[in-house]
Structures are given as structure tokens and as C-alpha cells.
Amino acid sequence: MLDIIIVEDHKEIAALLLDFLQNRNYRVEVASTGERALELFEEQGAKLIILDLMLPGLDGFSVCSKIRENSNAHILIVSARDTKEDKLKGLNIGADDFIEKPYDIDILLAKIDGIFKRKYGVDELRDANIVLNIGKQKLAVDGTEVEVTAKEFELLRLLMENKGVNLKKEFLFNSIWGYDSDSEQQTLTVHIKHLREKIEKDPKHPVHIITQWGKGYRYE
């Protein structure tokens, strides 16, 4: 999974921001159109989307709305469209924050660092009887440590970080195995089955990892 997707059609701005973020060791890709942004997100996923509103073709509002259908990824709108109406529209369709252009690069970078520290710097994820220790890559159910593979851990973490959101099979597979993986998508189904056997009281009637038939899965 990528750390950040920059959605910006101004090449100089995109290149400058890309350089600054890569120097801070973030994994970053740039999309110059809304369509390419959605392709990248579908292929690799991302923790943060830095989103311009004025794009050729599909505009930023449409991109924001589409991503929010299937993900809780942090969406930061960065735009010269700074009217109250634009800000409210962006926030109402799912954006987490709004920064006006032109911006101070140091302030933007500080905000990005803060987002990752607060949202993704957690040591563990807890939900009822399930605890994921991020640092130690360990899973505990009802206080007992349960053995999981690296991929099972990553998959459960992604599901728990997006609790209540229906995640498409393609998004889950590409996020964990990579869009250029030689593995088949059936691998995802097998890993879901194994996870259910490890965290569900009755794997045949799961209450945590729910199947959305023909679409994907969500964590409850």
C-alpha cells in the first residue's frame, strides 16, 4: 500500500511536493487526473490522498466521493477553490480536511506528518476481544495469542482500520499482495477463511468479517 497519492495536474507543484515527501521517506505516487487517481487507489491503495479539486476530466469532488464509498483513507483537499460552499461540499462528501492554495509547504508537511502520527502511528488496534499489536505483529483473541501469517496480519489490520466500510475484493487483494502479484485473487478468499477460523467464535456464521456478496468484505 502507498502512503500518499498526490492528485495534482500542475506538474511543477506535484513534482515539488513529491520530492519533499519522498525525502521524508513516504511512499508516494502522483496522478494528474481524477481517473488516474482512482486507478492508482484501486491498484495499490493509499493511507492519504492529497487532492486538488480542479482537475481535467473527473474533478476532485467526484474522486473524493468515489474513494469514500470503499475506504476510510484520509482525504486532504488542497485547492485554490476556497469558497465556503466548496469547503462545505468537500467536507460533506467525505474529505477530512481542506487547505487553501497557495499554501506554505512547511505547514502542509507538518499537517501530513501529524496525520500519519495520529492516525497510523498507533501501537495497537482493539475491538472487543480482538487486539492487534502493530509493533510486534501479534494477534490476541480473548487474551490468548493466536498465530497468524504476515499476510493474515496485514489483511486483518486493513479490515480493522476500515471498520464498517465495505472493501472491494480487488482493493483488498491489491493492497496486500500488490496489483502486479503473481498470486490469484482466490488467495484472498483463503486468507479470509483462515482469519475467520482464528477470530470468530463460529467461523461459519461470522460476526466480525462480513461478506458483501459479489463485492468484498467489511469488518464489524
Residue 202 has pLDDT above 70, yes or no: yes
Q: Domain boundary at 104, 120, 136, which?
A: 120
Give the contacts of 51 (CB within 8 A, at least 6 positions apart). 7, 37, 60, 63, 64, 75, 76, 77, 78, 79, 95
pTM of the model as a whole: 0.72
Q: Domain boundary at 120, 153, 182, which?
A: 120
Domain count, the chain: 2
Please check whether residues 53 and 85 belong to one and the same domain. yes
Q: Domain boundary at 120, 149, 172, which?
A: 120
CATH number, residue 215: 1.10.10.10
31-65 pLDDT, tens digit per residue, is 999 999 999 998 888 999 999 999 999 999 999 99
Q: Which of 64, 113, 114, 115 is nearest to 92 (CA)?
A: 64
Please check whether residues 16 and 68 belong to one and the same domain. yes
64-90 pLDDT, tens digit per residue, is 999 998 888 999 999 998 889 998 999
Domain that holds residue 90: 2-120
Please check whether residues 145 and 114 belong to one and the same domain. no
Please check whether residues 130 and 94 belong to one and the same domain. no
Residue 184 has pLDDT above 90, yes or no: no
